[in-house]
Amino acid sequence: MGTPIDAEELRTLFLFEGMTPEQLAEVVASSEVRTYPAGSTVYRAGEPSIALWVLLDGTLRLVRHADGEEVVVNQTDHRGSYAGAVRAFATSAGAAAYPTSLHAVTDCRFLRWPANDFAAFVHKWFPMAVHLFDGLYLGIRTTEATVRQREHLAQLGTLSANLAHELNNPAAATVRAAGQLRDRVAHMRQKLGMIASGTLDPAMIARLITIQERAVEIASKKRDPLSPLQESDLEDEMVDHLEDLGFDHAVDVAPVFVSAGLDTTFFDDVAAEVGDALPSALAWLGYTLETEALMDEIEDASNRISTLVASIKQYTHLDQAAHQEVDLHPGIDSTLVMLGHKLGDIEVHRDYDTTLPLVPAFAAELNQVWTNLIDNAVDAMDGHGVLELRTYRDGDYAAVDVTDHGRGVPEEVQGRLFEPFVTTKPVGQGSGLGLDNAKRIVEKRHRGTIGFTTGPKGTTFTVRLPLTGN
């Protein structure tokens, strides 16, 4: 049980200094003073919200529980600070439970005002304020929910657009190559029929098939890429040589033969083996090599689609535990894939420490951090420049640097950059929730740190994550 409070002491608190003697008397009659030693708990989150608590002396700490962790909302020794059933008077108040926990950091004295008495007092003396504060509270909650929902939808829209673009390219390439492949196979059948219907004996056909296999084998070997000038010179040389051999359609097939890595000596051997059947044999060989190239294109496009799907799973960490020991590099790389369409002409430089140990982390949440940092870096460079990604060990921490060579963070917002709704982007292009969310994930969820250095030549954000769980 507590002790009564004197009306004059009440008047020294900012909450009560403007009250009339009658009002103060009602407060004194319905409240009491309670003391708590240092380290004790006044109330815990989730308990029935049965009282308003006002600090008279000492230091309090207000803690909110989120995602299994305790977040310090406020720690203060300011007399008159209050917590608990703050909105007991409001008709739109949620469930009657404390949303936070209140702890005494030092020996504390609190005024305990029962919620029912507090609500009755406010309704009696300040009826208009009840309606105003209730409406204001609902407005703020609705606005915040709308803005956060818009931010999430914007991120989802960006991700969807990037994926649609990245998937469209290989999918379109597959469709185009498949159509061309059907046409080339049809022509191969026709040429084979023409060869088989002539005077060629079975031994000649066998030699043609051997030539075909040898050409395919040469084409499958990796070679150093040719410059456009080198390629053009070789094509001209090939055209002249094939025409000298009596082939009238050399211009059509020379690029195919050069791209496959065949030289003029190869066709001298072919001419010696097939004789008068050379024109049909060369056309057939051209279709064969085009078919191989188209199949390679389809395979490459299909692999790109598979890689994108794997990156999506890596990015979202589907079918994996929420908290686990992870390699940071696949998460960063999958984020680059997700933002591939936005990277545009930006050159990405990776400097990864491959000896970096696994990090205990919520992997999908960390990918949100990389998304925000890389997305901001791209915006800072207006789609042109160099994006540097570096990982390294910093004592007992794994560190990740995301560096852009953009315009830097304006001085007027540097001190508030991690606050909610602060953004350097033009109006309508950013909600200012990205870095606030990144800071929460790094510092609250992972017990790490996030900071930045900036100047006219660019900005570097550094994320440090502990290598051992806390």
Q: DSSP readout, 37-52?
A: -TT-EEE-TTSB--EE
Residue 154: closest CA among 429, 338, 364: 429
| Interatomic CA distance for residues 56 and 53, integer angstroms | 9
Structural domains of the chain ordered from first start: 7-126 (2.60.120.10), 200-305 (no CATH), 321-466 (3.30.565.10)
Q: Which amino acid is at 400?
A: V
Predicted local confidence at residue 32, as pLDDT: 94
Predicted local confidence at residue 353, as pLDDT: 93
Checking phi first, is residue 395 left (phi over 0); if not, alpha (psi -120 to 50) or beta?
Answer: left
Dihedral sign, Cα of residue 127, residue 131, residue 132, residue 134: positive
Residue pair 341/449 in contact (Cβ under 8 Å)? The answer is no
- Greatest extent of the chain over all pairs of C-alpha atoms, in Å: 123
Predicted local confidence at residue 439, as pLDDT: 87
Q: Tell me the three state secondary structure of residue 92.
A: coil
For the chain (length 470 residues), average pLDDT per consecutive 10?
A: 88 90 92 95 91 94 74 88 82 68 95 91 84 70 64 61 66 76 73 61 73 81 76 86 82 84 83 78 81 78 68 55 80 81 84 92 84 88 89 94 90 78 52 71 88 90 85
Bridge partners of 453?
Answer: 460
Predicted local confidence at residue 432, as pLDDT: 45
The arrangement of strands across the sheet holding 41-43 comes to 41-43, 100-104, 60-66, 69-76
| Interatomic CA distance for residues 224 and 249, integer angstroms | 27
